[in-house]
Amino acid sequence: MSAHESINFDAAPAATSAQPKSAIKDDMEMMRAARDLTKDIAEANPRIFWPDMLASAAIGYSALAGAILVGNTLIAIALGLVASLALYRALLFIHELAHIHRNALPAFRTTWNILVGIPMLTPSLMYEGVHTIHHQRTRYGTIEDPEYLPLALMKPWSLPLFILVSLLAPPALLIRSAILVPLGVVIPPLRRLVWQRFSALAINPDFRRRDPASDLRRRFFWQEVGCTLWSITLLSSVYFIGWRPLLIALAIFSFTAVFNQVRTLVAHLWENDGDAMTVTAQYLDSVNVPPPGWMAEIWAPVGLRYHALHHLMPSMPYHSLPEAHRRLKKHMGAGSTYDGANHPGLAPLVGRLAKSTMIKR
């Protein structure tokens, strides 16, 4: 729900945390406060978006080049870590692109795709028209949600598997763009398969992507062309400069993918049983990791440390979330429903999730 959407103030107050998440009713005081207290900070600021994204990409690619060119192994590893963290931050602007109005930040989407999305084979088409399903009132946490698995209700082995499978993401994206997409031009069934199964940043294996809206097809077409040309260039480069640069780049991108998967692991509590949930229930099933801790700004950058608050106000730009959090926390007070989604850090969240998977059901 965005800060500007209408709200039914007749709903009952939130239920206790002992209830199933799908049974929690909306806390209308919290939702009213989220709407009323943040109206003045709801616009995306280009003076923040542009320098942040451009600096992250510049630092990331410079460090990546250094990791490839330097001869010292330890320095190369250090540069690879810098490259991974900086490109990770640059890549996560895809999340903002899924929410900002199409007329906001002119040229930002195109520039991001050229500088980050296409070079990392993760153009905005992977998120546009997909991520918003995750925010739909009747689809969050259900079988139709592309970004939800009830991990807390699954077996213990599902957690390490969830993390390790992300190691394969970069080579899989390379194969997708260099081989499967071109073949799909002449093999329609393959084209449909690639679009439905391998063209979305989804974790739900049952999700099948529908055809894109007509106003998005031209944009998506050029993004696919860019990714195909770039991926073929990358594979062709091994004949001229050898395998080492490509393997180093893939290793760095694989580390970035794992890093992002760990963040995804604690973005929610993953406790929903498959039924539709209220906005408040979605909020309480999601995670904020606010200050005073600072590590969350590294593993959940671009506002994602306030992921629960984002589910309360999806259209709020990332740079406004810290101030929105301060206002709501002060207004609602300790022990409120709002306080229920605030968590101390990564380790306690992973521990809670792991413990939940060990409960016999």
Whether residue 22 lies inside any domain: the answer is: no
pLDDT score of 359 more than 90? no
What is the C-alpha to C-alpha distance for residues 145 and 140, in angstroms, rounded to an integer?
6
Q: What is the pLDDT of residue 223?
A: 98
What percent of the chain stands above pLDDT 70? 94
User: Residue 325 falls within a domain, yes or no?
Assistant: yes
What is the SS3 assignment for 243? coil
Question: Which pLDDT value is given to residue 2?
Answer: 36
Residue 140 lies in a domain: yes
Mean of the per-residue pLDDT values of the chain: 92
pLDDT at 361: 66
Confidence of residue 103 (pLDDT cuts 50, 70, 90): confident
The mean per-residue pLDDT over the stretch 4-20 comes to 39
Within a domain: 137: yes
- CB–CB of 224/195 below 8 Å? no
Tally the domains of the chain: 1
- Segment 71-77 long-range contacts (CB within 8 Å, at least 24 positions apart): 76/248
Domain assignment present for residue 4? The answer is: no
pLDDT at 101 over 90: no
Q: How confident is the model at residue 13 (pLDDT cuts 50, 70, 90)?
A: very low
Whether 215 is in a domain gets the answer yes
- Confidence band, pLDDT 50/70/90 cuts, at residue 19: low
The pLDDT of residue 310 is 98
pLDDT at 3 over 90: no
Query: Domain of 214?
Result: 32-361
**What is the per-residue pLDDT across 255-265, written as a single tens digit (0 to 9) for each?**
999 999 999 99
The pair of three-digit structure tokens given for residue 221, joined into one six-digit string: 């077409």
Q: Could you tell me the pLDDT band of residue 22, with boundaries at 50, 70 and 90?
A: confident
Query: What pLDDT shows up at residue 18?
Result: 53
In a domain, 7, yes or no: no
- 296 in a structural domain: yes
- Contact indicator for 250, 270 with CB cutoff of 8 Å: no
- Give the model's pLDDT for residue 26: 93
Give the mean model confidence (pLDDT) for residues 201-228. Answer: 95
pLDDT, tens digit, for every residue of 131-154?
999 999 899 999 999 999 999 999
Q: Is the pLDDT of residue 206 over 90?
A: yes
pLDDT for position 215: 87
pLDDT for 16 beyond 70: no
Q: Is the pLDDT of residue 98 over 70?
A: yes
Query: pLDDT per residue over 169-198, tens digit each?
Result: 999 999 999 999 999 999 999 999 999 999
Are the CB atoms for 262 and 144 separated by under 8 Å? no
- Tell me which residue of 204, 205, 184 sits closest to 193, measured CA to CA: 184
